[in-house]
């Protein structure tokens, strides 16, 4: 199941367009490929049954399998460096803030010929001490270390140099704060055993890694690097102790990371203009050595944000070669599709949306495939890295083949639910890598007792429901909404969300809001939606940024001074902390989560209001949804409820509410201003899902369920149940163009 | 991580768990579970799915990323309640030295 991996270049394509599929096989000679439409991905024997539809399209093959590696770890690379040799003195300097000193050699700055590996580099040695190495053409090398390990999370000015007159190598590490009883200021020199090297015309300069002969980069740095410089002279003592004092004489390069923070470029401020490229998106817009708390937004004081945080597990784009180009038939109907790759018992699905051609609609209903939330959760290690998962799910954690694979292959990259190897938070997540959890048939960890589905596969409960209703629908992804705004939703009679559309950009939110403002009808069939603000990169495809500032349920808090997105300069965090609480959009907002069992809803008095009689046709009540594949009830996993203080419209009707949850359901930290006993689901009144309805100004309306588990109940008793009836009643009325009365 | 320590007072909760390992625990049993389920990653018992929804092996987690999950292939379960009770007994023994089957006999 994990010997074939793949990803596509795009997540959304119109009929007639093409998709590039990038495949890697681990020891498989050949594989077969076919295009399928995803209908129902749940393989639970108690569920509605797995269903896919094969598209009659020849993708060629059998296709020869080949291995394509993933090289995680970020670094900067500069080509076209002027030749250097040992006929003249030279020096390298940088400010560094290491995070994992002592965890293997880690490069700060290197100048090497990638063919011969001749050159020199400044690095931390295996013990975490500053070291400097010279390697000659035949591979012989000589190095010197201070022998004094650096401390983590501490700024140092580090210098390595070669004195051509005395033939000596020198290293000097200077902590920027001196601390009694901590002896980490050290200098060391020796006469070099290497007489000469010629790292000639092909030499590359790398920051935070050095060029390996077998792979693109080796011995990545973990931590922050600021203002790396190379001189063709020796630095004096004052310059070696005081950052920013080295004069610009005989400079080869001086990179200023405070320039171009939103980009993947690094700018050399010297006359040589040795500008370079960052690979695998190290974190920018992070505080540097000069940051003092006066300014919290990098746009207002670039000098305080002149550092880049590199990680040995950063990954943006695997840059695999294309193995299959799928040219989609012009007549292909909109939907969620996947290229299915198979070799014997090994298989992989790489899904994408087929959207209607730009500016057109092919159905009255649009389903928004929450691709930004899939990216946010991409390859999350909640099941394998987080030991608390058993306690919060209330049962043993089950490891499926993808979990076993991710445990031994961390190079597949991280999600917004993980921390880097050095414990720092993950700011960026991309889809230009295999996302093993984004496949039909896959089982998650947080989906509750029953099918235990999450995100992509949980959303197939909606696809399956629409399919059995024979309801034509278009699929629009988050990226389409980001790129085209509300226009992409214009004219749809109803728009349906996924089960967990948690991550929204300002463009997406504006798009959805403008659809509603124009009289659109929205069915929010999930929970914990519209929660975190994310930013798409202005030019790089397939990547989003999220910093979970202030509060909210999160695995790490970004450090002080880092609450602004590097991609766009936006203030990050919860949408409710950005003045646009989900309550304003959909009437409800996140109040609690728990991942064991779900509960039924109890209909309220308001459910008998004539305004909503269409919703409950054929529904008896008062208990609805005491069944389902996501925890055994319709109200569960993550719950939303009304809150007028956060903008729930005053015309909102609370139609039903869940009344009892287990004590594994807990309040969100953002609502827990003053902790007091009784925070669990059996006691705290705030812990409930609320099903709501309200009309919008131009004859539109919103129906929200407030529960991720809702759609797990749709297929119960062969779709003959109250949850399916309520959802279907809402859809039928929303398809009716008769405006909802405003008065 | 829980600071609670098991005593003979908790045997009644072991009886409660044995009767319904997949049920909603009483507050007293929840406190016991918070301790027994709340250990660190290294050595943590997990289930390895052999056949989804049908068959599992017992497994144990390694300490760090990159290391394989240990699969104890000679211990197999076909029922999740049975798996929960088995792991409960193992953890109880590791925590107290007591063999629960004997204690409850
Ligand atoms: Fe979430």
Does the residue B2 lie in any domain? no
End-to-end CA distance of chain B: 30
Rounded distance between C-alpha atoms, residue B97 and residue A179, angstroms: 47
ipTM greater than 0.85, yes or no? yes
Per-residue pLDDT tens over the stretch A15-60: 999 999 999 999 999 999 999 999 999 999 999 999 999 999 999 9
Which class is A75-310 in CATH? mainly beta
3-state secondary structure of A26: coil
What pLDDT is stored for residue A359 in this prediction? 93
DSSP H stretches of helix in A532-595 = 582-586
DSSP output for A240-255 = HHSTT---STTEEEEB
Q: How far is the CA of A621 from the centre of ligand 1 (A)?
A: 30
Rounded distance between C-alpha atoms, residue A494 and residue A76, angstroms: 47
Given the candidates 3.40.50.880, 3.40.190.10, 3.30.2350.10, 3.40.1280.10, the CATH classification of the domain at A365-735 is 3.40.50.880
What pLDDT is stored for residue A123 in this prediction? 98
- Is the pLDDT at A437 greater than 80? The verdict is yes
Which whole number is the average pLDDT over A420-445?
Answer: 98
Burial of A360 (0-12, 13-18, 19+ CB in 10 A): exposed
A142 touches chain B (CB under 8 A): no
Percentage of chain A lying above the pLDDT 70 cut: 99
Q: How far is the CA of A502 from the centre of ligand 1 (A)?
A: 6
Pick B34's closest partner by Cβ from A387, A391, A398.
A391
Does the residue B35 lie in any domain? yes
Does the residue B1 lie in any domain? no
Name the domain count of chain B: 1
**Size (chain B), residues:** 105
Chain A residues with CB under 8 Å of B48 CB are: 398-399, 404
Rounded distance between C-alpha atoms, residue A97 and residue A152, angstroms: 7
What pLDDT is stored for residue A657 in this prediction? 98
Across chain A, mean pLDDT equals: 96
Pick A396's closest partner by Cβ from B30, B39, B46.
B46
What are the CA-CA distances from residue A18 to residues A11, A695, A715 (Å)? 11, 40, 34
Mutate to test the interface with B, among A73, A345, A396 (most CBs of B within 10 A): A396
A1: pLDDT confidence band, cut at 50, 70 and 90?
low
Q: Which residues pair with A523 in a beta bridge?
A: A496, A703
- Is the pLDDT at A213 greater than 70? The verdict is no
User: Contact A407/B65, CB-based, under 8 Å?
Assistant: yes
Pick B30's closest partner by Cβ from A46, A388, A663.
A663
- Is the pLDDT at A201 greater than 80? The verdict is no
Per-residue pLDDT tens over the stretch A467-497: 999 999 999 999 999 999 999 999 999 999 9
A114: pLDDT confidence band, cut at 50, 70 and 90?
confident
Rounded distance between C-alpha atoms, residue A155 and residue A288, angstroms: 9
Strands A535-536 and A543-545, sheet pairing: antiparallel
A571: pLDDT confidence band, cut at 50, 70 and 90?
very high
CB atoms < 10 A from the CB of A167, how many? 14
Question: Is residue A133 within 8 Å of A125, Cβ to Cβ?
Answer: no
Per-residue pLDDT tens over the stretch A607-618: 999 999 999 999
Q: Enter the tokens of residue A289.
A: 């050595």
Shortest Cα–Cα distance, A720 to chain B (Å): 24
A715: pLDDT confidence band, cut at 50, 70 and 90?
very high
Which whole number is the average pLDDT over A282-304?
Answer: 97
What pLDDT is stored for residue A86 in this prediction? 79
Chain A residues with CB under 8 Å of B24 CB are: 597, 662
What is the pTM (predicted TM-score) of this model?
A: 0.97
Which whole number is the average pLDDT over A82-87?
Answer: 81
What pLDDT is stored for residue A200 in this prediction? 67
CA contacts within 13 A on the Cβ side of A311 = 24
Rounded distance between C-alpha atoms, residue A408 and residue A395, angstroms: 23
Domain ranges of chain A: 4-69+324-354, 75-310, 365-735
Pick A399's closest partner by Cβ from B30, B66, B69.
B69
Which whole number is the average pLDDT over A113-135?
Answer: 92
Residue B97 lies in domain: 8-104
- Is the pLDDT at A258 greater than 90? The verdict is yes
Chain B residues with CB under 8 Å of A390 CB are: 37-38, 44, 46
Residues at Cβ < 5 Å from ligand 1 ion: A 502, 528
Does the residue B3 lie in any domain? no
A82: pLDDT confidence band, cut at 50, 70 and 90?
confident
| CATH no., domain A4-69+324-354 | 2.60.40.10
User: Contact B24/A388, CB-based, under 8 Å?
Assistant: no
Mutate to test the interface with A, among B24, B69, B88 (most CBs of A within 10 A): B24
Q: Point out the least confidently predicted range of A422-436, A510-524, A665-679.
A: A665-679
What pLDDT is stored for residue A115 in this prediction? 81
Provide the 8-state DSSP code for B12: H
A61: pLDDT confidence band, cut at 50, 70 and 90?
confident
Residues 6+ positions from A128 with CB-CB distance below 8 Å: A98, A101, A102, A103, A149, A150
């Amino acid at each position: 199941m994990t010997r074939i991996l793949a990803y596509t270049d795009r997540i959304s394509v119109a009929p007639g367009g093409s998709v590039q599929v990038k495949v890697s096989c681990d020891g498989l000679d050949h594989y077969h490929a076919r295009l399928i439409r995803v209908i129902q991905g749940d393989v639970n024997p108690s569920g509605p049954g797995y269903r896919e539809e094969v598209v009659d399209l020849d993708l060629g093959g059998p296709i020869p399998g080949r291995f394509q590696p993933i090289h995680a770890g970020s670094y900067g690379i500069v080509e076209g460096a002027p030749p250097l040799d040992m006929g003249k003195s030279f020096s390298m300097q940088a400010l560094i803030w290491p995070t994992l000193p002592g965890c293997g050699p880690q490069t700060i700055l290197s100048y090497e010929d990638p063919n011969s590996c001749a050159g020199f580099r400044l690095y931390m040695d295996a013990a975490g001490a500053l070291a400097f190495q010279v390697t000659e053409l035949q591979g012989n090398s000589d190095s010197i270390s201070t022998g004094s390990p650096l401390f983590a999370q501490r700024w140092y000015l580090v210098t390595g140099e070669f004195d051509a007159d005395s033939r000596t190598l020198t290293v000097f590490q200077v902590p920027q704060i001196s601390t009694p009883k901590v002896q980490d200021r050290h200098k060391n020199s020796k006469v070099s055993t290497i007489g000469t090297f010629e790292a000639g015309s092909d030499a590359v300069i790398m920051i935070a890694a050095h060029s390996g002969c077998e792979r693109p980069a080796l011995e990545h740095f973990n931590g922050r690097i600021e203002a790396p410089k190379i001189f063709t002279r020796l630095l004096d003592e004052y310059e070696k102790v005081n950052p920013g004092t080295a004069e610009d004489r005989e400079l080869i390069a001086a990179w200023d990371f405070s320039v171009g923070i939103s980009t993947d470029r690094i700018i050399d401020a010297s006359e040589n203009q040795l500008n370079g490229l960052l690979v695998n998106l190290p974190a920018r817009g992070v505080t540097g050595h000069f940051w003092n708390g006066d300014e919290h937004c990098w746009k207002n004081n670039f000098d305080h944000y002149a550092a880049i945080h590199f990680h040995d597990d950063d990954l943006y784009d695997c840059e695999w070669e294309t193995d299959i180009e799928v040219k989609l038939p012009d007549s292909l109907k909109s939907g969620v599709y996947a290229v299915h790759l198979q070799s014997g018992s090994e298989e992989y699905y790489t899904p994408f949306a087929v959207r209607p051609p730009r500016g057109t609609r092919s159905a009255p209903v649009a389903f928004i495939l929450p691709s930004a939330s899939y990216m946010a959760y991409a390859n999350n290690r909640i099941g394998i890295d987080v030991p608390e998962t058993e306690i919060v799910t209330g049962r043993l954690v089950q490891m499926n083949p993808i979990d076993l694979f991710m445990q031994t292959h961390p190079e597949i990259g991280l999600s917004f639910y993980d921390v880097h190897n050095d414990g720092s938070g993950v700011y960026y997540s991309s889809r230009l890598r295999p996302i093993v959890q984004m496949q039909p048939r896959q089982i998650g960890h947080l989906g509750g007792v029953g099918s235990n589905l999450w995100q992509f596969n949980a959303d197939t409960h909606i696809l399956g429901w629409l399919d059995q209703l024979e309801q034509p629908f278009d699929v629009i992804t988050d990226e389409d909404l980001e790129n085209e705004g509300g226009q992409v939703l214009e004219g749809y009679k109803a728009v349906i969300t996924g089960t967990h559309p948690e991550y929204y950009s300002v463009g997406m939110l504006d798009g959805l809001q403008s659809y509603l403002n124009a009289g659109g009808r929205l069915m929010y069939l999930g929970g914990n939606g519209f929660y975190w603000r994310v930013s798409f990169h202005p030019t790089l495809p397939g990547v989003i940024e999220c910093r979970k500032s202030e509060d909210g349920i999160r695995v790490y808090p970004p450090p002080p001074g880092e609450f602004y997105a590097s991609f766009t300069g936006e203030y990050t965090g919860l949408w409710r902390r950005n003045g646009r609480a989900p309550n304003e959009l959909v009437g409800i907002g996140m109040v609690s989560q728990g991942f064991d069992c779900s509960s039924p809803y109890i209909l309220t008095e308001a459910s008998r209001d004539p305004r909503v009689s269409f919703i409950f046709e054929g529904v008896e009540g008062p208990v609805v949804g005491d069944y389902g594949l996501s925890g055994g009830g319709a109200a569960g996993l993550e719950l939303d409820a009304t809150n007028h203080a956060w903008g729930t419209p005053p015309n909102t009707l609370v139609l039903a509410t869940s009344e009892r949850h287990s004590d594994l359901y807990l309040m969100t930290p953002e609502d827990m201003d003053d902790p007091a006993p009784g925070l669990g689901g059996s006691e705290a009144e705030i812990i409930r899902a609320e099903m709501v309805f309200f009309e919008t100004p131009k004859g539109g309306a919103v129906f929200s369920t407030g529960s991720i588990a809702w759609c797990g109940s749709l297929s119960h008793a062969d779709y003959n149940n109250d949850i399916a009836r309520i959802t279907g009643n809402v859809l039928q009325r929303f398809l009716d163009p008769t405006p909802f009365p405003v008065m | 991580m829980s600071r609670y320590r098991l005593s003979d007072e908790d045997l009644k909760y072991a009886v409660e768990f044995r009767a319904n390992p997949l049920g909603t625990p009483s507050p007293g049993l929840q406190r016991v579970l918070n301790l027994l389920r709340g250990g660190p990653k290294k050595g943590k018992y997990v289930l390895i799915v052999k056949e989804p929804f049908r068959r599992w092996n017992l497994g144990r987690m390694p300490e760090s990323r990159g290391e394989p999950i240990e699969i104890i292939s000679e211990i197999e379960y076909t029922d999740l309640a049975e798996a929960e009770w088995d792991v409960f007994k193992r953890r109880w023994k590791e925590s107290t030295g007591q063999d629960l089957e004997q204690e409850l006999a």
